[in-house]
Amino acid sequence: MTQSIVGIDIGTAHLRAVEVRGPGKPRPMLLRYHEVSLPPGAVIAGEVIEPNTVAAALKALWSGGGFRSRQVVLGMGNQRVLARDLSVPKMSLARIRQALPFEVQDLLPVPVADALLDFYPISESTTEHGQTVNGLLIAAVKAAVVANVSAVRLAGLRTIDVDLIPFAVSRLLVTRPGIDGVVAVIDLGATTTSIVITRNGVPQFVRIIPTGANDLTQALSDGLQTDAAAAEQLKRRVGLPAATESSAAAVLFAAAVLFAAAVPDSSPIEAAAARIIADTMHDQLGSIVNTLSYFANTRPSDPVSAIILSGGGAELPGLAEAVSKLTRLGVTRGDPLATVGLASVIDTQALRLSGSAYTVALGLALGRAA
């Protein structure tokens, strides 16, 4: 029987996991999925702060979800991880990885000894210095990875791989479905927003922005003097009012949504919420647009042709329309279940309702061929 793998998404407020059989097959089988809540402070921005607390939550996750495999894949994708363009002389991937500590010290915000390094090759070229491999340098602060792996070990589980979350998401939503062209995948998580741009399914560019859906909830909670639960409900009810005009400038967009927020049928609290949402999303959308503009300026021959949204933050009403107006590109929501089969015991309708919450966990599991 084909071995199964569990992908674990360690979030700020939840642990989410999926178990997959045959992740390397054209249509792997999703066997189980489950989530448990985490107490505040146990995990901050994807990094385990209280290993024993998280280990206890993982044990509850395994018990509640009925997971059978104890082999897991973890993801990293916060501000303690960076991805940068890097070109090196052509050699085997093993030798490139061995040489990384001597090649990249000037690119890192921490000493090489405190970082875990990897290289993702993209293409080859010939320069005046000879043949070159072009790719992405992936560097993570070692302490952050060790803390997450330690919590998994304390729970009696075995980490067999640690993957970059933007890679996991793009693999699930672009590479596996076979979407060609230059596509930007924007994953709006609780505390970070990641952007990965792929060409014919191969990642070319990654940026991680240190803002996410929780920033909007917190802004509403602070501005309206209400608790987080009420702020979350308001966020989902009010959403992002539609801009009256298409504009590539975030400032003009903010003005448009502020104007659109002043509708006569809105209650005072909803009108106030709409203004806070517009203000906060003005900054967040500005960061996204600036990132896409940077890619366009540095790679003018590879214009982005479409955008795929994912993550809990992408559920904000009106967001897809706003991103489409700002970028003048088609925007769709990614379908994380498009390329997997579902075990007969799974409630398909229930999973469809919450499927986007398991995008990261599923992408992680599918990155490991069994």
Interior CA angle at 307 toward 291 and 164, to 5°? Answer: 65
The full set of domains in the chain, from first to last, is: 4-79+143-177+336-366 (3.30.420.40), 81-141 (3.30.1490.300), 213-332 (3.30.420)
What are the tokens at 151?
């919590």
Nearest CA-CA partner of 345 in 66, 22, 26: 66
Two tokens at 340? 């997997």
Considering the entire predicted model, what is its pTM?
A: 0.89
Q: What is the pLDDT of residues 75-118, one digit of tens each?
A: 998 888 989 999 999 999 999 999 999 888 888 888 999 999 99
Q: Is the per-residue pLDDT at 370 higher than 50? A: no
Q: Quick one: pLDDT at residue 352?
A: 86
Listed in sequence order, the residues at least 6 apart from 336 whose beta carbon sits closer than 8 Å to its beta carbon are 172, 173, 310, 355, 356, 358, 359, 362, 363
Query: Percentage of residues in the chain with pLDDT exceeding 90?
Result: 75
Separation CA 23–CA 163 (nearest Å): 15
Q: What is the pLDDT of residues 264-282, one digit of tens each?
A: 456 788 888 888 998 899 8
In this structure, of 75-79, 197-201, 325-329, the range with the lowest mean pLDDT score is: 75-79
Mean pLDDT of the chain: 89
Q: Which two tokens stand for residue 75?
A: 């993801």
pLDDT in tens, 115-133: 999 999 999 998 888 899 9
pLDDT at 268: 83
pLDDT at 251: 43
Q: In the structure, what pLDDT confidence band is assigned to residue 2 with cuts at 50, 70 and 90? A: low
249 pLDDT more than 80: no
Residue with tokens 């940077």: 294
